[in-house]
Amino acid sequence: MTRRWLTSTLCVLALLAPGSLGTASASASASEGGRTPLRVTTRNLYLGADLSPVLAATTPQGLVAAVTAVWSSVRATDFTERAEALADEIAESAPHLVGLQEAVLWRSQTPAGPGSATHVEYDFLRILLDELAARGKHYAPVASVTVGSDFEAPRSTPAGLQDIRLTDRDVLLARTDLPARAFSVANAQAARFRDHVPVCRPALGCPPGPALKIERGWVSADVTLRGRAARVVTTHLEPAAPAVQEAQAAELLAGPLNTKLPTVLLGDLNSAAGGVGATPGTATRSYDRLLAAGFQDVWTANRHRPRGPGFTCCQAPGLRNAASGLTQRIDYVLFRGKIHALTADLVGANPADRTPSGLWPSDHAGVTSTLRLR
């Protein structure tokens, strides 16, 4: 992707701001009626900073100051520490599939200048996979999609300017330690949505050439569990523009969700269930549209209905708030077709889930669920 320098990058970063109670049930690892259930988890990893402060920058100097603050937050919300808690969650519930949002790659270039930054500072996906492997849990990406472009801008250091580059990805992980006769994955697909948010603002100056944009996407795969097949789709819908988000939901229904297979949709939909906790401008109809298309929500439909509202968003940007700040339910496991929802649990939502230094694992809680394929 062609890099856009300074002020144009500001516009892009500003709209990437991130939009989740309990541990997985012991029954999640047991067979239901002698039949192995499909276990799935959705987890927004949190890119590590609130990027909205860059919105106030109107000059190159202001942009440098904003990116410097963002990078300081990314370092302070250290993903290498948070990944240990996230890996513990996944290891405990041992899902067959994990949908990841904001599985970002942070890179740098010193000194700042022409060309793209290539030095890896944090690869969230690699760090998490390594932590899982250290726990004897073996996962690999089925497919991934880079959402938006690679965005790069300079920050200030004592030695001068350093470029910081953000690459955002959505990923579907699958277990690799099961025999094919028990669990297999095929027909992996990934794509960006046609509908997106243009981000150039005239007050900040627009670059020549094609307009910058924030793109979102989806990843899907067809899985077979003990002879029973289903399609699993993960996504991260647009939070900043309700009309765009609803168009993306419609594209999902016409695209990867348009199948006769039993279907599971998991991810951060950024659409508050029932409008509870929705902020001004937040899309709420995407969730309702999916339910109208025949999907059910594991949080309300499972056999062992959980207690509480199931809020999944959002902790403070610095992740060190003592009391949970979750007030919205925007992360879901939805299903349609010949599927029974057995359990649903939140992960990373209790104070006890925080890291030894006091970080929440993410600004979202995750949702883990067991589903019986009929």
Residue 241 pLDDT > 90 = no
Q: How confident is the model at residue 312 (pLDDT cuts 50, 70, 90)?
A: very high
Say yes or no to pLDDT of 34 above 70: no
Q: Per residue in 145-159, pLDDT tens?
A: 998 666 888 999 999
- Rounded CA-CA distance 309/300 in Å is 10
| Alpha carbon separation from 231 to 114, 146, 184 (Å, rounded) | 43, 21, 12
Residue 242 tokens read as 């309700």
Q: Is residue 2 over pLDDT 60?
A: no
CATH 3.60.10.10 fits 7-19+21-373, yes or no: yes
What pLDDT, on the 0 to 100 scale, is given for residue 21?
Answer: 29
Torsion of the alpha carbons at 51, 125, 100 and 255, rounded to the nearest 10: 100
Supply the DSSP symbol for 159: T
Residues 135-144 pLDDT 10s: 999 999 999 9
The predicted-structure confidence for 178-223, as pLDDT tens digits, reads as follows 999 999 999 999 999 998 776 654 334 455 544 556 789 999 999 9
User: CB-based burial of residue 307 (10 Å sphere; 0-12 exposed, 13-18 middle, 19+ buried)?
Assistant: exposed
Tell me whether residue 78 is exposed, middle or buried, using C-beta atoms within 10 angstroms of its C-beta: 0 to 12, 13 to 18, 19 or more.
Answer: middle
**Nearest CA among 234, 246, 250 for reference residue 44:** 234
For the segment 61-120, what is each residue's pLDDT rounded down to a tens digit?
888 999 999 999 999 999 999 999 999 999 999 999 999 999 999 999 999 998 899 999
Among the ranges given (94-98, 254-258, 304-308, 317-321), the one the predictor scored with the smallest mean pLDDT: 304-308
Distance of CA 220 to the CA centre of its chain: 14
